[in-house]
Amino acid sequence: MLTADQKAFYDENGYLMVEDVLRPEELARLREITYGLIESSRGVTESNEVYDLDKGHSEAQPKLTRIKLPHKQDPYFWDLLRGSRVTEVLNDLLGPDTTILTSKLNTKAPGGGAAVEWHQDWAFYPHTNDDLLAFGIMLEDVDEDTGPLMVIPGTHKGPILSHMANGVFAGAINPEDPLFERDRAVTLTGKAGSMTVHHARILHGSAPNVSDRARLLLFYEIAKADAWPILGSNSYFHALGQKRFWDDLQSRTITGEPCLTPRLESVPVTMPLPPAPDTGSIFRMQQSAGAKSAFA
């Protein structure tokens, strides 16, 4: 699906915008499911395995930062990843054998939905090589006021900045880091049905949603099958044991087959430890660690 120019742009810059990746019926179905999940959160009073609640959430006015693991909440999210134009983009960039790490549906509520501080995904889950990326599928139009994703081009080829604060892994960089060049940031806005792609090592973040509209962004975080997680990273994989890990690995295979010969590359690795007091989500991690905000 991608042109040679698009693939070259991604390799050089570490991000890509793919317009109209969803067909109209796919977008309509995703919206229907998503708003149904938001509606079902009205009776939820504390964050749980499905919902991460935002400040001010109530039965009268549901406000979420995130719906966790949407591909496990409704099979349509998984079907879309495995058999659509999204899949074509995935195979164009990572090849035929791919594995999902996680998914999340960030639901920035109108009027101040939480920011995501600047970070590099790689800092959370270093692997044996860095053929990892994230898709961000826009379920509503995204403009400057809704808290769009921002990236700093080319940083996927540079160092991994410190994500520590107050002696723990905060999941955010210090905005005063001399290597953080905020003035180079690119803002990724677009129409519903479009999709961003960003490399696991690129610096990115997003401001609060100050509009009167929801910003619904469906994220899939994905690895080439020969990239294996390193023990101690921020994932549940290592608690499964050998048999359950193998079963889980097969269930997370998107396309192709699992790879049992990890490819080892010279990549920068610092383990995301010690953990923050609350690791329930990136929002809670950044807040509980006392990370400095770039959006204050």
pLDDT digits (tens, 9 = 90+) for 201-258: 999 999 988 888 888 999 999 999 999 999 877 777 778 889 999 999 999 999 999 9
Residue 230: per-residue pLDDT: 92
Long-range contacts of 264-270 (CB under 8 A, 24+ apart): 264/128, 264/129, 265/128, 265/129, 265/130, 267/126, 267/127, 267/128, 267/129, 267/130, 268/159, 268/160, 269/126, 269/230, 270/123, 270/126, 270/160
Percent of residues, the chain, with pLDDT higher than 70: 99
Confidence grade of residue 108 (pLDDT, cut at 50, 70, 90): confident
In whole angstroms, what is the distance from residue 276 CA to residue 99 CA? 27
In SS3 terms, 81-129 reads as HHCCHHHHHHHHHHCCCEEEEEEEEEEECCCCECCEEEECHHHCCCECC
In terms of average pLDDT, the best of 109-113, 190-194, 276-280 is 190-194
User: Model's pTM, two decimal places?
Assistant: 0.95
Residue 239: per-residue pLDDT: 80
The backbone torsions φ and ψ at residue 83, rounded to the nearest 5 degrees and listed phi first, read -150, 65
What is the overall mean pLDDT for the chain? 94
Residue 112: per-residue pLDDT: 63
CATH T-level fold of 4-289: Jelly Rolls (2.60.120)
Average pLDDT rounded to a whole number, residues 54-71:
91
Percent of residues, the chain, with pLDDT higher than 90: 83
Which residues are 51's β-sheet partners? 67
Which is more confidently placed, 82 or 215?
82
Average pLDDT rounded to a whole number, residues 97-120:
89
Say if residue 113's pLDDT is above 70: no
Which residues are 16's β-sheet partners? 197
pLDDT digits (tens, 9 = 90+) for 12-51: 999 999 999 999 999 999 999 999 999 999 999 999 999 9
Average pLDDT rounded to a whole number, residues 265-289:
93
